[in-house]
Structure 1
Amino acid sequence: MIRSGTIHLGRRWAATLLAATLLAGCGGGGEGGQDDGTTLTLWHFYGPPESATGAALVRLLQRYEQAHPGVKVQPRHIPFGEFNRTILQSAAGGELPDIALIAATSTQAMAEAGVIQDISQQVESWGKKSGFLPSIWQTTQVGGKTYGLPHVADTYAVYYNTDMLGKAAIEPPKTWTEMAETAKKLTSDDRQGLAVSGIEGEEGATALVIRILAAGGDVTKVDAPPAQAALTQFKEMVDDGAISKGMLGWNEEDVKNQFANGRAAMMINSATYVSTLRKENPGLKWKVALLPGDAKQLTFLAAENLAITSGSRQPDAAWDLMAWTQDPKVLGEYLPDRNKLPTRDDVPADGDEVRGVFIEQLKSAWAPSGPLAKDSSEVFTHVQGALQAAVSGSASVNQALADTQQKIDKTLAE
């Protein structure tokens, strides 16, 4: 999935976190508030201060400091691959930050492990939760309580080269049947019709997961007609040359490069690359369309939540900062700078046509919940394995999905 915003905690992680937290006796510290001299700590995985993503967050926090004299916010960047392990070790040592910016799919496991606090009362007093998109708000809910505040979101849509589709007199596909036909028509010796990521791991499962959802399928039940139809179509598109077999080695950045260099007429990718294409390929003519539909029209949601940790000594001040970040006026400036999408429906439109399509697509976003949320990384990796087996020819579609179903069942049962 989207690497910059998706970190998962499996059941074993959750159990270890819970044990570590109990051993350390981590509990909410003293009440803070916004008195002079208040210093808040915030840990995130966006990027170092000199990176585009890290710098955007730093600018947001500096604006908060300017609006709240006497309050200082100390952000700490922890590399993506080390974030969960660092939270675990810090919980064991009783040295958690005031606020943790976590992946939406990690929220349930961290709540059950006691690493983050129940903020239901603050949210209720705030009175603004109705503005959040339902699929995004659901990621903050654990056992009927709220454990995080949505921060930003990202999702997937179809990028298309307007010159290529225009010369072929083709409109962007609105169904998956049209997608296969359109991609085949746009394929030539030096160009594929559609580029997607199929690299080993959860990132390479994204397009197939989206296709399974569109067919009305359940990602935890892939040995069934919807998933069989989805994987069969992907294999046929590869066999026709409409999707390059090279996709098995491409991450989402590679897919962007295929599209940017004219080697793909369309690509399925996230809003992350809107600003990148505009900056790095100003001469490229492209637009974005909603994903095609089938039985349903769904996309994949990637989002992050802000959470007050169980080790915070000033939860009131932490809550104030979190709520401030979700002010529509604040988001109106921050989101374009961060190159992300709003989690709320009351953020003023910025007039950007492309971002507008992604925001519309976000309304039909799906995110794993319940038991799947904890084990989604492993489950999606298994789904990619089915794609790998079918596309490479090492197994038939039905056999690949049957094998994958056994792996998914085992993962969810552990």
Structure 2
Amino acid sequence: MDQRRSMVRAAAAALALALPLAMAGCGDSNNSSGDATKLRVLDYYNNEPDKGVYTKVLNDCASKNGVTIQREAVPGDTLIQKVLQQSSSRTLPDVLMLDNPDLQQIAATGALSPVTDYGLNADGVVPGVVAASTYKGKVYGLQPVTNTIGLFYNKDILAAAGVQPPTTWAELRTAAKKLTKGKQYGIGFSAPANYEGTWQFLPFMWSNGGDEKNIATPQVAEALQLWVDLLKDGSASKSVLNWTQADVADQFKAGNAAMMVNGPWQFPLLNENTALHYDVVPIPAPKAGGTSVAPLGGETWTIPNTGNKDKQKNAAKIVKCLNSDENELLLAKERQTVPTKLSLQDQFVADQPSMKAFSTLVKDARARTGELGADWPKAATKIYTGVQKALTGGAAPLKALQEAQNG
């Protein structure tokens, strides 16, 4: 998933329940006949910046491989429904982009063909990215770029307060307190009751040894207690319960938050304020010497089972081209993301030094579906439900998590 979107797709899990039946006849798709050099592509890059760069790259890939493409871009929160509709009518596209946590539930239906069937592989790719595109031991998608979240800080505000960027939870709480004054909060983050809230909480949960298989543990409760304490201290606005990541970025840009948890897709917005001097570091770990474990975002490109083997072979060429070294570097630069091939990291950071923290983070970052696969949405819902209950004072962290886990 590209985290610049709100991730509000509560209906996706319910729709997925109907997918296996709908997908059962995919081999008889309307695509099973026709000109194999004419491919249909479906993605959710429907705003101009994204659509522009991907249109260029897709067209270049098509030209290099002797095919033409018909591209359809839909809003992110409608993609799964679109896939369901197309599978039901047997009109799946030849190349399908998926938010990476959605891949496993779609692969489970039989709608996708393993990319390894076409001589493609994910060798040398960030391990967490490979895990996100793998279902039952087979790789079903290739992801050219990825993203994650880090801790942004206002260099001028921290310098004036004599505060160093925090590296531990204790330092984070102390720094946030010291940086809070007047209308300025020490830190901003996004904690709404949706997948976006879960995404932002995961670095704290995972870095403390928490696990999505069972969130009712002392490790997850301790992470949630940190968020509760930041609100109780007044270091974070109670509005975080409703803020999207875009809202948090607006607050940071305006100087109303000295630090924030967010992703590199906010760079263009922040850079509109030329008076804003900021930098990014990994989200603090629980204790000194600990590792910050962040979640991986981004989209993976797949080859649906349309029934037309020649089209599927040509679709594989497009997927391969999208994941070439040249295109990974281009897409990463244009979209404020990180190439997924480890061999490209040094070159990328040398060219894009502002992405250094994120390049470091993705190496140890985790796929959200790494443990639970297609059941991830259920766990994500439990997480944000427990977080909301604790932050609103409905229950102490451990009790809130127990109720969410058992709910």
TM-score by length of 2: 0.91
Change in CA separation of 1:312 and 1:149 when aligned onto 2, cut-off 3 Å: farther
Q: Secondary structure at the match of 1:302?
A: coil
Q: Which runs of 5+ in 2 are unaligned?
A: none
**1:56 paired to 2:58:** no
- The secondary structure found in structure 1 opposite 2:377 is helix
Superposition RMSD on alpha carbons, in Å? 2.3
Distance 2:296 2:155 in 1: 26
Q: Is the 8 A contact 1:32 1:317 kept in 2?
A: no
TM-superposed deviation, 1:175: 1.2
Alignment partners' CA distance in 2, 1:82 and 1:11: 13
- Of the candidates 285, 294, 304, which is equivalent to residue 277 of structure 2? 285
The residue aligned with 1:297 is 292
Alpha-carbon contact 2:26-2:307 (below 8 Å) kept:
no
Count residues in correspondence: 396
Answering whether residue 237 of structure 2 is matched by residue 244 of structure 1, we say yes
* Deviation sequence 1:209-254 (CA, Å, 0-9, x none): 2211111111232211111111111111111111111111100000
Please, which moves more after superposition, 251-260 or 101-110? 101-110
- 8 Å Cα contact 1:103/1:305 also seen in 2: yes
Question: Is the 8 Å Cα contact of residues 150 and 303 (structure 1) preserved in structure 2?
Answer: yes
* 8 Å Cα contact 2:132/2:370 also seen in 1: no
Shift of 1:275: 2.3
Decide whether the 8 Å contact of 2:28 with 2:307 is kept in 1. no
Partner of 2:364: 364
Partner of 2:79: 83
What is the distance in 1 between the residues matched to 2:23 and 2:32?
A: 14
Structure-1 separation of matches of 2:25 and 2:329: 42
Partner Cα separation in structure 2 for residue 3 and residue 161 of structure 1:
21
| 1:117 alignment partner, one of 113, 116, 141 | 113
The whole-number CA distance in structure 2 between the counterparts of 1:363 and 1:317 is 31
Residue 1 of structure 2 is aligned to residue 4 of structure 1 = no
Amino acid at match of 2:300: N
Equivalent residue for 1:206? 199
- Deviation string for 1:78-122 (max 9, x for gaps)? 222221111111111111110100011111111110111122232
Alignment partner for residue 332 of structure 2, among 335, 350, 370? 335
Partner of 1:310: 305
How far apart are the structure 1 equivalents of 2:181 and 2:52?
41
* Cα shift readout 1:109-160 (whole Å, capped 9, x = no counterpart): 11110111122232xx34x622211110111211121211123211001110
Give the stretch that moved more between structures: 129-138 or 93-102. 129-138
Give the direction of change, closer, same or farther, for the CA distance of 1:258–1:312 in structure 2 (3 Å limit).
farther
Structure 1 unaligned spans of 5+: 408-414
Q: Give per-residue Cα distances to partners, 1:301-352, cap 9 Å, x unaligned.
A: 1121100011163011111111111111222222211222211112232522
User: Secondary structure of 1:173's match?
Assistant: coil
1:411 maps to none
SS in 2 for 1:287: strand
Q: Structure 1 residue 135 and structure 2 residue 131: aligned?
A: no
CA deviation after TM superposition for structure 1 residue 5, in Å: 8.8
Please give the per-residue CA displacement for 1:345-401, whole angstroms capped at 9, x wherever unaligned: 122325222112211111121122356332333422332222222222222223212
Determine whether 1:274 maps to 2:267: yes
Q: Does 1:152 align with 2:145?
A: yes
Quick check: 1:216 aligned with 2:209?
A: yes
- Corresponding residue for 2:319? 322
- Kept in 1, the 8 Å contact 2:303–2:312? The answer is yes
Deviation of residue 30 (structure 1)?
A: 6.4
Deviation at 1:3, TM superposition (A): 5.2
> SS at the partner of 2:297?
strand
TM-score where L is the length of structure 1 = 0.89
Bigger mean CA deviation after superposition, 326-335 or 285-294: 326-335
* One-letter amino acid of the counterpart of residue 320, structure 1: K
| Counterpart-to-counterpart distance in 1, 2:362 and 2:154 | 22
Task: Please state if 1:19 is matched with 2:11.
Answer: no
Note if contact 1:212-1:227 (Cα within 8 Å) is conserved in structure 2: yes
**Structure 2: how far apart are the matches of 1:398 and 1:109?**
30
Aligned counterparts of 2:378 and 2:4: Cα–Cα separation in 1: 14
Give the Cα separation in 2 of the matches to 1:381 and 1:218: 14
| Residue of structure 2 equivalent to 1:74 | 70
Partner SS, residue 356 of structure 2: helix
Structure 1 vs Structure 2: percent identity of aligned residues? Answer: 25
